Amino acid sequence: MKYLVTGGAGFIGSHVADELIKRGGQVVVYDNFSTGKELFVQHHQENPNFKLVQGDVLDKDLLNKSLREVDFVFHFAAHADVRSGFENHEIDHVQNLEATQNVLETMLKNGIKNIAFPSTSSVYGDATVHPTPEDSPFQPTSLYGATKAAAESYIHTYAGYYDWKAYIFRFVSWIGERYTHGIIYDLMKKLKENPKQLELLSDGTPKKSSLYVKDGIDAIFTIIEKAKEQINIYNLGHTEILTVDQTVNIILDELEVKLEKKYLGGKIGWKGDNYFVHLSTGKLDKFGWQPKTSIEEGIRKTIRYLKENPQLLK
């Protein structure tokens, strides 16, 4: 089969591309390199089954051309900075919702009937049930979560209209090799600037679950292989949760740093943040999937990777 991966040079998209190549697929990576890195896909450059297209999903003509003869789209391009939506009300709408609609329209023009889409725990907002199951209501507290929820609805509708098969994955935060944004990244940059004091945006008590990237990729392809519905919606998460303080302590321990922590906020770190994120993976568990890597080990692997690739912290 021939696959196109939007955002395929990004943190998660590049791992999807790796797995597709490993499985013998023909892969087109489509990325504008706003956050993606050539470093993450350069090991495929000599592979005849790999093609790299530098382009934006908002460019309908280039996207349409790139989708010719493709069988399956992994639409992983997105604006993933949850915090920035509070100040910039356009960016999530354009890069998450309008971009997804462009993908869906160009899929329709090219007769493509399979799509995989990474959604987010943010669609649930401040959920009242933990672990949070897939049938919980949408109540996003950020424009990022709101546009991801809307994009899910667009995919659901197009799939219903045109008899497509859709796979929607609601992620907790992912960690691991090629990680380029999030708490680990932010704190390592802060420590470079001030190795004596670490400012934290919350009071340290928010509770979050995370998933190591290789476990997440395994979950994605397990679902694609085993899920039989027309529209398949699955949470991807971990049984474990850590407070922000516990996460920070692991980061400091791995970096062998001792310093003062300064708490700047309360129960949440910024407008739109969620205090408690823990998704139920009961549906996915029925396929025999379980995460193999603890959150702590995933954090440590992420730090080691960033230390080996310090250019990513610039």
The set of catalytic residues is 144
Note if the bond before 291 is cis, omega within 30 degrees: no
* Whole-number Å distance between alpha carbons of 223 and 178: 23
- β-bridge partners, 168: 117, 233
Contact 142, 164 (CB under 8 A): no
Closest CA to 261 of 193, 197, 192, 203: 197
Strands 207-208 and 242-243, bridge-based pairing: antiparallel
- β-bridge partners, 152: none
Contact 166, 182 (CB under 8 A): no
* Whole-number Å distance between alpha carbons of 115 and 3: 10
Contact 134, 233 (CB under 8 A): yes
